[in-house]
Amino acid sequence: MTSPPLRLDFAALSDVGRVRKDNQDSGYAGPWLLTVCDGVGGAARGDIASSTAVQQLRKLDEQPQDDLLASVAGAIHRAHDRIGELVEQDPSISGTSTTLTVALFDGERMGLGHVGDSRAYLFRDGQLTRLTKDHTFVQSLVDEGRITEEESRTHPHRNLILKAVDGVHDADPDLFHVDLAPGDRVFLCSDGACGVLDDDRMADILGSGTPDYAVVELVRASLEAGSTDNVTCLVADVLATEGESGAGTGADDLTPLLVGAAADLPRRNRGGMAGSMAGMFRGHRSGDTGELEPVPAEAADAIVSDPVDPEVVRYAPRAPRRFVLVKRLAVLAILVGVVWAVGGAAYTWTQRQYYVAEHEGQVTIFRGVDASLPGVTLTRPYEQSSVELDALSEYDAGQVRSGIEASSLSDARRTVANLDDAQIDPADQPVSSSTDSTAGADGGGS
């Protein structure tokens, strides 16, 4: 088999944290594979989902011979199926699920698969780039511009994930490639780390030291920043294999690391620990730092008894959205129907209204309302009388031109009858001034 141009030097570390009683994170780091899974499930045992997923994914840890993304997608599907089998065997864990971020390395690039809110980053030339996109409610708010990335860290619903591998719903993972170069550093973590550390802080830690040093400092910094969740970090350096002397490339450096719930290693008992040892990270290759002093019992109880425990919210991921277009069309159809019904009712009401106005020089009863809308006719002549506008007094004619309201058709007809009675007899009309002048002139002549 051809020797690949690049290799990985990796480290992994998982800590239960200062508040949680159980570690529901699982992680694995090997020569060809990096993966972090964060169990979701609470009483439904999220640790089972995360460790089951890692046990399926770790089978990928050999030099890939096939398409990277196809291999990753297949492994995620197998993890999905295995979790489903466990739920069928034990209904008490129904609802268990896990986030999943996996990177398969072929010696030149990585194929990544991602579901949920664990993350993958690339640290290159002093710049930290986030490779994955969270499947969370707050990420949708960030994408819409409604909140900032910084505000998302303290949003009350920051723990609500929209996608998880649960053995029931299709996970539909994000799949993509990342090209690598010597000197790159790859970082995978659960949200116990990225949920409290900003990019600048992570970049500062990733910018120096070995992978072992980096994972220890990342976990330490996460807990000191106030993380109340399990914390899992994987760091892998990308190194060139050509021209190496062989130093530092022994089997020990390539020993795979299994951490967190998947390692099934209980936390150390701190009862006899000397005060000088508190805060130190020993034996981190075994998967659990387990050395930081826990927060006081009162504070831990307050967090656990909080009626809105963020982990409880997290343990109810939303099912993947299906038939989105059909649902939107159905909502649109309902809205159109409502508008049509309201418009129809309004139009029917207008056709029961009457008023008196002028039409083609005659007093006319109109049906509808004396108003107009673009493209809609709300009134039309209903009964045209024999009363001519010119036969009315100037005042009555003005009233008719402006429109005379009526409470009913009968009321409109009474108005027309009154106007008929008010017509001026042509014989009673005053003679115009010009006629008078002419008559005066004729009289003077005789």
pLDDT in tens, 139-196: 989 988 998 888 888 888 887 889 999 999 988 999 999 999 999 999 999 999 999 9
Task: Please report the pLDDT score of residue 31 as a whole number.
Answer: 97
Residue 129: φ, ψ to 5°? -120, 130
Position 112 pLDDT exceeds 70: yes
pLDDT higher for 314 or 388?
388
Q: Rounded CA gap, 76 and 97, in Å?
A: 13
pLDDT higher for 288 or 361?
361
Task: Please report the pLDDT score of residue 427 as a whole number.
Answer: 61
- Find the Cα–Cα–Cα–Cα dihedral 403, 407, 409, 411, rounded to 10°: -80
Domain ranges of the chain: 6-264+277-322, 353-428
Task: Please report the pLDDT score of residue 435 as a whole number.
Answer: 43
> Within 13 Å and on the Cβ side, how many CA atoms surround 1?
9
Task: Please report the pLDDT score of residue 441 as a whole number.
Answer: 43
pLDDT, mean of residues 212-216? 97
Q: Is the dihedral of CA 408, 413, 414, 415 positive or negative?
A: positive
Cβ neighbors of 384 (< 8 A, separation 6 or more) are: 359, 360, 362, 364, 365
Position 270 pLDDT exceeds 60: no
> Within 13 Å and on the Cβ side, how many CA atoms surround 406?
23
Token reading at 245:
């002397």
Distance of CA 189 to the CA centre of its chain: 21
pLDDT digits (tens, 9 = 90+) for 40-69: 876 678 999 999 999 999 999 999 988 999
Q: Rounded CA gap, 349 and 346, in Å?
A: 5
Cβ neighbors of 250 (< 8 A, separation 6 or more) are: none
Position 445 pLDDT exceeds 60: no
Residue 437: φ, ψ to 5°? -65, -40
% of the chain surpassing 90 pLDDT = 50
Q: Which long-range contacts (CB under 8 A, 24 or more apart) does 262-266 make?
A: 262/26, 262/27, 262/28, 262/37, 262/50, 262/51, 262/54, 262/55, 263/14, 263/26, 263/287, 263/288, 264/51
pLDDT digits (tens, 9 = 90+) for 28-47: 999 999 999 999 876 678 99
CA-nearest of 124, 121, 106 to 33 is: 106
Residue 423: DSSP 8-state:
P
CA-nearest of 71, 266, 105, 255 to 175 is: 71
Q: Rounded CA gap, 160 and 152, in Å?
A: 11
Position 312 pLDDT exceeds 60: no
Q: Mean of the per-residue pLDDT values for the chain?
A: 82
Confidence of residue 267 (pLDDT cuts 50, 70, 90): very low
Asked whether the beta carbons of 130 and 198 are under 8 A apart, the reply is: no
Position 239 pLDDT exceeds 70: yes
Token reading at 74:
């297949």
**DSSP annotation string for 136-167:** BHHHHHHHTTSS-HHHHTT-TTTT-BS--B-S
Position 246 pLDDT exceeds 80: no
Kindly report the CATH class assigned to 6-264+277-322.
Answer: alpha beta
CA-nearest of 292, 8, 37 to 189 is: 37
Task: Please report the pLDDT score of residue 369 as a whole number.
Answer: 84
Token reading at 160:
């609500």
Task: Please report the pLDDT score of residue 122 as a whole number.
Answer: 98
Token reading at 9:
């030097």
pLDDT, mean of residues 228-248? 82
Position 436 pLDDT exceeds 60: no
% of the chain surpassing 70 pLDDT = 78
Task: Please report the pLDDT score of residue 326 as a whole number.
Answer: 78
Task: Please report the pLDDT score of residue 431 as a whole number.
Answer: 52
Q: Rounded CA gap, 351 and 147, in Å?
A: 50
**DSSP annotation string for 223-240:** HHTT--S-EEEEEEEEEE
Cβ neighbors of 112 (< 8 A, separation 6 or more) are: 72, 101, 102, 103, 104, 120, 131, 132, 174, 175, 176, 177, 178
Position 385 pLDDT exceeds 70: yes
- Ranges 127-131, 161-165, 279-283, 308-312: which has the least confidence: 279-283
